[in-house]
Amino acid sequence: MEKEFDNNDGLLIVQNITQRYGRRKVLKDITFTAEPGSCIGIIGVNGGGKSTLLTILAGIHSPRSGSVTFQGKNMLRKSVSRHLAGYLPQDDPLMEELTAEDNLRLWYGGKVSSDLPVLTQLQLTELMNMKVRNMSGGMKRRLAIACSVANGQPLLILDEPTSSLDLHQKKIIQDYIREYTKNGGIVILSTHDVMEIRLCTHLYYLQDGTTTPVDVEQALNMLQEGIS
């Protein structure tokens, strides 16, 4: 078990997170911190617990033990986490029969201004009248990210944000991540993408339920060796 951390304002503190499914311990005392402006990358094999960890950080699921605090608040309380954390799962939470604008209205409380910076940053302004079912995978992913930050959350949690997208779509999303952290937000993402790994200020390899800090070159070597 790692040392206790002081709870500073603006700091995300993940402390001793443990989760199990039946007898299987998926996460074992996961502990790390993230400062404003940082991008934390979680890498590892599929089925290794990355998505489980992200859902806990987003307040979707509760751990067996441990704590997550951000800005001094308990992120394991859903009433807190939904206001402080935007979460993008692997499957886009969009209404296929509605337009982009109508999806945004659902998340933004009925009103969406056309000059919202996120719409420009994610190049969505020309898609507002398009139905989701007619969109490409990259368009849907960008729209889902815009929906996830409807409350201006300072923490953005992304589960494989650009998996299976083409280079153009990847770049739009990665540029947004870069801008988000530049403005003082914190991004935590799971990824197998080389460019996303290069965006990260800190990287952790999740294996057998525990995290090991790695640098960019170590992470890239792991990708080449096939951690997917």
* Rounded Cα–Cα distance for residues 85 and 149 (Å): 8
Residue 47 DSSP label: T
Domain ranges of the chain: 12-224
- The pLDDT, as a whole number, for residue 2 is 36
* Rounded Cα–Cα distance for residues 104 and 101 (Å): 5
Q: Is 12-224 a CATH 3.40.50.1110 domain?
A: no
Residue 214 in tokens? 């790695």
- The pLDDT, as a whole number, for residue 6 is 42
| Residues found in the chain | 228
List, for residues 56-111, the tens digit of each pLDDT value.
999 999 999 999 999 999 999 999 999 999 999 999 999 999 999 999 999 998 88
* Rounded Cα–Cα distance for residues 160 and 71 (Å): 25
In the predicted model, residues of the chain with pLDDT beneath 70 are 1-9, 228
Residue 128 in tokens? 């507002």
Characterize the bridge pairing of strands 12-21 and 24-34. antiparallel
- The pLDDT, as a whole number, for residue 224 is 82
Query: CA torsion sign, 192 to 146 to 135 to 139?
Result: negative
